[in-house]
Amino acid sequence: MLLSELSQAKVAVWGYGVEGKATSTYLSKRCPQLQFSVLCQPHEVDDQPHQFITEPVTSALLNQFDVVIKSPGISPYQEWLKEVHCQLTSASALWFSNERQGQVIAITGTKGKSTSSALLAHVLESMGHKVVLAGNIGVPLIACLDDCDFVVLETSSYQAQDGAIQADLAVLLNVYSEHLDWHGNEAQYQLDKWRLMEQASAVVLNQKDANTLKLLESAPLNQAIHWFNQSQGYYVLNGVLMYQDKALVSKHGWQLAGDHNLANAAAICTVINCLGLNIMPAVNHLKTFQPLPHRLQPVATINGVHYINDSIASTPKATQAALATVAAHRTLLLVGGYDRGLDWQWWVESISQEPPKAIICSGANGEKIADLILNHGIKTQCIKQASLKSAVEQAKRMAEPGDVVLLSPGAPSFDAFNDYQHRGQQFIQWIK
């Protein structure tokens, strides 16, 4: 929607988190005559000169407006929204209609999108380009108003859902079960991710991701497709990032841990090729990238015990990837959190041959995970704790010099924390 059309409408911003606030600031700047409303919680009201409405949001309330700009965290699949007749749009749609600039590279994936987006932005900036890192990890897209060469957009499934993001190049790292409570089911989640690919001018896909291949088969793309994780391009072999038959970076030659991060680097190198940039300087800049917090983050070594914070891990798949970076038989693993209904049975089976030294389960789904482990008869110590704090205390008591205590919960944090950052910060505080 063009701003000229918006200025003639009765408008509301629904949600007043980071993106909602940025959207409100944008409207005040670009449409100073527009009298819009903000639909939010009473505790979110601040001193900005907006008209705040704090009553519960209903279809009747939304239908008082012509246009409602919805924050990404609000699911459009709620049953009562079928009664809404106003136009629901997003801040992304506003930006692409009114502010688009530079080349837009949108990166999504169930896991790895934040690290990959930050990694690409680091490489491009180090090569002398003016880059804006936007999305959940950077500034809100609607706040990107200055000239730049590239916008690297970390894109969640929530943001991709409405099809408003029209990237010059879209990257899909991987796709598996996540956010089922928001999307309703796994099929819808995957289709919402795929919408980003359908709207892009060109795409980068993972040759080794089975769900990506299934999506491509069921919903073919007309755009140019560039592959990573395949032997004619960039891929990972025995802990080394390769290009065809040339070794580029070993897992010991940079700051990130795990083959999954080398696979992310393969995706980034593929993007660099697509942009027509020189790959060798890019590879050198990969090596100077520092890990993001809460992603396999070394916290401390105390009395010979290594503590690692991987609070970002909100699915069993992410926990599986984290375990692959440590010696399992010397690792005390902390799992559990908010129960999003994901399947843990396959994960339990996957660790049965080489289980961690101990698994300490806590949180809302901790007992369920522990029962699966115990019923499977895995030869490891499996302990239930009521809270993550008590699980950390248990791990401290059990750990011996040379052991690793790994927080990689495999579940969201919302049962006990504000978000994964809050959970990770608490873990660090309890350790230190």
Residues 178 and 120 in one domain: yes
Residues 105 and 222 occupy one common structural domain: yes
In the structure, what pLDDT confidence band is assigned to residue 408 with cuts at 50, 70 and 90? very high
Rg (the chain; Cα; Å): 23
- Whether 165 and 305 map to the same domain: the answer is no
Residues 312 and 424 in one domain: yes
Rounded (10°) CA dihedral 308, 309, 311, 313: -30
Q: Based on the fold, state whether residues 210 and 105 are members of the same structural domain.
A: yes
Residue 94 lies in a domain: no
Domain for residue 403, yes or no? yes
Quick one: pLDDT band at residue 317, thresholds 50, 70, 90? very high
Q: Does residue 177 have a pLDDT over 70? A: no
Q: Which of 66, 89, 112 is the last residue of a domain?
A: 89
Q: Which of 334, 393, 343, 396 is nearest to 366 (CA)?
A: 334
Confidence of residue 313 (pLDDT cuts 50, 70, 90): very high
Query: 392 lies in which domain range?
Result: 297-431
- 134 within some domain: yes
Domain co-membership, 108 together with 222: yes
pLDDT in tens, 27-84: 999 999 999 999 999 999 999 999 999 999 999 999 999 999 999 999 999 999 999 9
User: In this structure, are 78 and 162 located in the same domain?
Assistant: no
Exposed, middle or buried: residue 289 (CB in 10 Å: 0-12, 13-18, 19+)? Answer: buried
Is 246 a member of any domain? yes
The helix (H) or strand (E) run that includes residue 189 is helix 186-198
Dist. CA 377–CA 42, nearest whole Å: 50
How high is the pLDDT of residue 181?
77
- Is residue 328 located within the same domain as residue 381? yes
- Percent of the chain at pLDDT > 70 equals 99
pLDDT tens digits along 186-214: 899 999 999 999 999 999 999 999 999 99
Q: Is residue 343 part of a domain?
A: yes
Alpha-carbon distance of 305 to 396, in angstroms, equals 9
Tokens of 287: 């090596």
| Cross-strand partners of 300 | 307
The three-class DSSP label of residue 268 is helix
> How far, in Å, CA of 46 to CA of 334, rounded?
38
Query: How many C-beta atoms surround the C-beta of residue 354 within 10 A?
Result: 11
The DSSP line for 14-59 is E--SHHHHHHHHHHHHH-TT---EEE--GGG--SSSSEEE-SPP-H
* CATH label of the domain that carries residue 39: 3.40.50.720
- Kindly state whether residues 131 and 280 are assigned to the same domain: yes
pLDDT of residue 136: 83
Average pLDDT estimate for 220-245: 97
E strands present in 173-266: 202-206, 224-228, 234-237, 240-243, 246-250
Taking the CA atoms of 348, 352, 355 and 360 in sequence, report the sign of the dihedral they define. positive
Q: Is residue 291 part of a domain?
A: no
Residue 231 lies in a domain: yes
Query: With a threshold of 0.95, does the pTM exceed it?
Result: no
Residues 115-173 have pLDDT tens digits of: 999 999 999 999 999 999 999 888 999 999 999 999 999 999 999 999 999 999 999 99
The CATH number given to whatever domain includes residue 412 is 3.90.190.20
Residues 301, 410 within the same domain? yes
Domain end marker among 65, 89, 113: 89
292 lies in a domain?
Answer: no
CB 30 within 8 A of CB 54: no
Residues 366 and 228 in one domain: no
Residue 182 binned pLDDT confidence (cut-offs 50, 70, 90): confident
pLDDT at 183: 85
How many domains does the chain fold into? 3
Of 89, 116, 142, the domain-final residue: 89
269 and 308 fall within a common domain: no
pLDDT in tens, 321-362: 999 999 999 999 999 999 988 899 999 999 999 999 999 999
